[in-house]
Amino acid sequence: MATALVLINTEVGCEEDVFEELGRAEGVVEAYIVYGVYDVVAKIEAPDMEALKDIVSKKIRRIPKIRSTITLIVVEGKSPQ
């Protein structure tokens, strides 16, 4: 399983539109509207790195009203107990 966090900047005032689109996007398992440098953060899961790349480049980055993204590829993780 490949996992990534995508930090998203939207056009001004379009956070909710992008958030709603992410909710319908394949591979998006969590999404949050946040305050700070970024507007939305999404957690992506895919069966492998190739599928993860496709989700980010062909699905998420093509959502209208997204100005920029930064993708953080997870190399190791642990869920709180």
Residue 81: inside a domain, yes or no? no
What pLDDT, on the 0 to 100 scale, is given for residue 2?
96
77 has pLDDT over 90: no
The answer to whether 58 touches 18, Cβ cutoff 8 Å, is no
Decide if pLDDT at 18 tops 80.
Answer: yes
Q: Is residue 80, in this structure, part of any structural domain at all?
A: no
Is the pLDDT score of 17 beyond 80?
yes
Residue 79 located in a structural domain: no
Query: Using only C-alpha atoms, what is the Rg of the chain?
Result: 12
Closest CA to 54 of 25, 81, 29: 25
Residue 43 pairs with which residues in a beta bridge? 5, 30
Read off the pLDDT of residues 54-76 as tens digits, 9 standing for 90 and up: 999 999 999 999 999 999 999 99
Residues of the domain holding 39: 2-73
CATH of the domain at 44: 3.30.70.920
